[in-house]
Amino acid sequence: MLEIKDAVISVEDTPIIKGLNLSIPAGEVHALMGPNGAGKSTLSKFIAGHEDYTLESGTISFNGEDLSDMDIHERAAAGLFLGFQYPVEIPGVANHYFLKTAINAQRKERGEEELDTAAFLKELKKEMSELKMDPQFKSRPVNVGFSGGEKKRNEILQLALLKPKMAILDESDSGLDIDALQVVAEGVNRLRNQERSFLLITHYQRLLNHIKPDVVHIFADGVIVKSGGFELAQQLEAEGYKAFA
């Protein structure tokens, strides 16, 4: 589904990712683990299409389509979702209005019929109760005054409503207490299926105890140094990143 080959990615002419190879087939959950400064967030923003990141060499494709020519919103409509480490607060925009606008923008881009308000609200209500979100978050401005856990839950809510083919979750576990982590993990597990892939970006094994990955990659200084199964995450937790550097 997502194919990245020999990618060198730079920010203002400084290479951050230095020859990355990553292939995530449909239906698989991959975890990308690495220390601070390894370039994890750079990678996630680059895949989403952020203009500050340039592909110097190599290729990136999604479902066989070359991503490098696609605008951010076109990638979203094609089925890519990025869950933010720090979801952005947007004062003045009600959460439900934002969600509906996003869903319909994607549908329109794909040439599908727009979702009507009644159908949207029904689905929103259902997904919010699955995520144990207080109904008041529906009409509050997007992420404004949300706690860390509420913001991450709101990201999973968007994931559930936008139904992407592939979700990249950037440090979705950071800033969460155990209960909130459980809710987020349950949300992801519920949304796992044979077509949908996930890339979980994280520092810790903690999240992976709740969401079992198919493949674990260890990422340091802009390259993947080792790939393996869940046992790699356990080894990492015991030995630290130094063992792999």
Partner 1 sequence: MQKQTTFNFELWRNNDKRRWSRLTNIESTHVIALPTKKIGAQTSSDFCETNDFIEAHVPHLAKQLNHINPSIDTLSITESNPLILDWRNKQASQKSAGQRLYIEAQNGGVCDLIELMPAHLVSPTYRAHEIHVRSGTTLRHWLLEVPNDITQTNDTTPCGALSFRRTLVERNATIERHYLGLGHFSKNIDHTVLTGERAHASVKGLFLPNRSGAEWDIHAHVIHDAPQTTSDNDFRGLASDGGVGIWNSIVTINKGADGSDSKQLNHNIILGQKSQIHTKPELIIFTDDVTASHGCTCGALDEDALFYLRTRGLSKEQAELLLIEAFLAETTPPQPKSLDIDIQAIVRQHRLEHKTIGAGA
Stretch 118-157: interaction string toward partner 1, x if CB under 8 A: -----------------------x----------------
The least CB distance from residue 52 to partner 1, in Å, is 9
CA–CA separation, 205 vs 216, rounded Å? 10
The least CB distance from residue 238 to partner 1, in Å, is 35
| Nearer CB in complex with partner 1: 120/241 | 120
The least CB distance from residue 104 to partner 1, in Å, is 9
- How large is the angle between the packed helices 148-162 and 117-130, nearest 10 degrees? 130
> Residue 172, interface with partner 1 (CB under 8 A)?
no
Contact stretch for partner 1 (CB under 8 A) within 90-98, 122-130, 202-210, 224-232: 90-98
Work out the burial of residue 51: count CB atoms within 10 Å of its CB; fewer than 13 is exposed, 13-18 middle, 19 or more buried.
exposed
Which residues are CB-neighbours of 225 under 8 A, at least 6 positions away? 218, 219, 244, 245
In this structure, which amino acid lies at residue 129? S
> Residue 3, interface with partner 1 (CB under 8 A)?
no
In this structure, which amino acid lies at residue 42? T
CA–CA separation, 180 vs 75, rounded Å? 29
> Residue 162, interface with partner 1 (CB under 8 A)?
yes
> Residue 92, interface with partner 1 (CB under 8 A)?
yes
> Residue 115, interface with partner 1 (CB under 8 A)?
no
In this structure, which amino acid lies at residue 202? T
What is the chain's length?
Answer: 245
**Contact by Cβ (8 Å): 149, 132:** no
> Residue 102, interface with partner 1 (CB under 8 A)?
yes
CA–CA separation, 21 vs 88, rounded Å? 30
| Nearer CB in complex with partner 1: 55/225 | 55
Among residues 186, 203, 155, 212, which one has the least CA distance to residue 40? 203
CA–CA separation, 1 vs 165, rounded Å? 9
> Residue 82, interface with partner 1 (CB under 8 A)?
yes
Residue 162 CB coordination number (10 Å): 17
CA–CA separation, 99 vs 177, rounded Å? 26
| Nearer CB in complex with partner 1: 71/134 | 71
> Residue 88, interface with partner 1 (CB under 8 A)?
yes
Under rule CB under 8 A, which residues in 35-54 are in contact with partner 1?
45, 48-50
The least CB distance from residue 48 to partner 1, in Å, is 5
| Nearer CB in complex with partner 1: 50/226 | 50
- Which residue from 59, 101, 139, 182 is in contact with partner 1, where contact means CB under 8 A? 101
Contacting residues toward partner 1, per CB under 8 A: 45, 48-50, 71-73, 75-77, 81-82, 84, 87-93, 98, 101-103, 105-106, 109, 141, 158, 162
